[in-house]
Structure 1
Amino acid sequence: MLDETLDDAKERMSATVEALKREMAGVRTGRAATGLVDNLRVDYFGSEMPLNQLAQISVGDARLLVIQPWDKNAVDPIAKAIQNSDLSISPNIDGAIIRLNLPPLTEERRRDLVKSVKARGEESKVTIRSIRRDAQDMIRTIEKDGDASQDDCQRAQKDLQKLTDGSVAIIETEAAAKGEEVMQV
């Protein structure tokens, strides 16, 4: 019972960390990165699809993303999705190829992005702590019901705290690294 509770907490914490990593990949830095548009949702023939399932995305140079749709009919919906996104980039359509020129970020915009990265990191840490609280409640219930000894439950609490500390450390490292990357000119 205790092992199942710890495994569930570990799985949920790992999922939270992975979600943060995916979200951080989409944060704009000074350089072009495919992560900016990979999961951009495109309305394609009535269904919402991620851009990376509709086109090949590549980095042309430090400030250029090249998007080559597999279907020429997807060019306009992709361009529309890019314009409607929060990227603030106008797509250049050249036949069946879409080019995204990324202008340099201003100092003010960089600071705003760092603030949002830190805020997202804090949200992830709150989620981790919520998972810990749920697992602690479950461990207390197991102990109260007499399904495990007090020593086993205390050991499980310590293991849970180690899991929490490890996940929070990973989140802090990811957020700090992304913040530094955004501030690089």
Structure 2
Amino acid sequence: MTGSLELRHFQQIAPARQALIDTYADVRAPLLHLPNYAVPTFAERLDRHAGEPGWGVVIGYADGEPVGYAYANTLAVADRWWTRMAEPLPDGFTDIPTAALKEIGVRGPWRGTGLARRIHDELLARRGEERVTLLVNPSAGDGKVQALYGSWGYRDFNAQQPSPEAPRLTAMIRRIREEGQR
């Protein structure tokens, strides 16, 4: 992990697609045998997400090689992200401009270095929404992944199971910036 680290923004899928797929395959290697995590399933999800409003990605490159990424899009008031929640949402909850962090991943050698947080923060720094939400598998890393998001300011607010093949996921949310930080 020597050399330079560069964080690159993309608003279009074409120049980022293969780097995202390759990095995803490495990051999720232990899970690729599960239908929801298979590379073709991810590629289909990626293409669908990239076509949604406000899609953007940050990819971290070390010595020219992709080592991590995060991408998000803007949620509409009636977005299926909201409609798939396990519990009803309070009135007006979906009216607040919100980004959905759809994917984040860092290759093994870069885990524990703070790179995931750097990529996350860089992605959110250019977003115009007030909040960001994500889904996390509560068993990922024996709960450590969810705890990490908690340390980044996210709080649990609901749950969903995005597809029959997917595990039940915890929905988390936080403000993108603290008050007065625009």
**TM-score in same-fold range (> 0.5):** no
Q: Mark the structure with the bigger radius of gyration.
A: 1
Q: TM-score, normalised by structure 2?
A: 0.26
Q: TM-score, normalised by structure 1?
A: 0.26
Q: Name the structure where strand makes up a greater proportion of residues.
A: 2
